[in-house]
Amino acid sequence: MVEERPPTPLGHDRGEADELMALIDRLEALFERSELAELEVESSGTGVILRSPAALAPGLDRQAASALAASLGTTDPAAASPAGVETGESPAPDESLGLHAVLAPLTGIFYTAPAPDASPYLEPGSDVREGQVIGLIEAMKLFNEIKSDITGTVVRIAAENGTLVKAKQPLIEVEPA
């Protein structure tokens, strides 16, 4: 009697899934030996993106990022960027001053303007209202508008343009109206 196996979550049969995983393992091994920062492969509707730690932490060279990832005991590239250094992460605002931090809702690259040659959404001293776009976060090749959750005056832009920000990291500090 032949046992019929259910399809995998990707819609492939078990043999195809095993072949796909073996291909991913081979691509990963080749990628780690290369000087590439990113590799994207798509076939039959299935896509894989491999990124080096240096691609996610622009301030590090590939060798330093790999060493950092190894010292942290992780293969997760996002974890290879130490808080407050390459990510541009800054400490929470001093709540005794009555400031409110608008936090990043997701991890990605933060942009303060809609285009490289455009004016920034906000500058210190400018007024911001609840629901107003304060920046963009690029994650998985999608640009997400980040909106203020408070009305007030911008005291400080906490995250630098073009840097990796982590979820719940302060982006701007606002003095509530």
Phi/psi zone of residue 84: left (φ > 0), alpha (ψ -120 to 50 degrees), beta?
Answer: left
pLDDT tens-place string over residues 25-66:
788 778 778 777 777 777 766 777 777 766 655 555 555 555
Claim to verify: residue 115 and residue 75 sit in the same structural domain? no
Q: What is the rounded distance in angstroms from the CA atom of residue 78 to the CA atom of residue 114?
A: 24
What's 132's domain CATH number? 2.40.50.100
Claim to verify: residue 100 and residue 172 sit in the same structural domain? yes
Claim to verify: residue 172 and residue 99 sit in the same structural domain? yes
Claim to verify: residue 134 and residue 163 sit in the same structural domain? yes
Question: Does any domain span residue 4?
Answer: no
Please say which residue of 48, 80, 112 terminates a domain: 80
Give the chain's domain count.
2
Please say which residue of 36, 57, 80 terminates a domain: 80
Claim to verify: residue 75 and residue 121 sit in the same structural domain? no
Q: What is the rounded distance in angstroms from the CA atom of residue 143 to the CA atom of residue 124?
A: 23
Question: Does any domain span residue 2?
Answer: no
For residue 7, CA distances in Å to 10, 13, 17, 21, 108 come to 8, 5, 9, 15, 33
pLDDT tens-place string over residues 71-124:
444 444 444 443 333 444 445 555 557 899 999 999 999 999 999 999 999 999
**0.85 surpassed by pTM:** no
Question: Does any domain span residue 87?
Answer: no
Q: What is the rounded distance in angstroms from the CA atom of residue 173 to the CA atom of residue 157?
A: 6
Residue 128 reports pLDDT greater than 60: yes
Question: Does any domain span residue 103?
Answer: yes
26: tokens are 């081979």
Q: What's the pLDDT at 20?
A: 72
* Domain boundaries, position 23: 14-80
Question: Does any domain span residue 60?
Answer: yes
168 within 8 A of 149, measured Cβ to Cβ = no
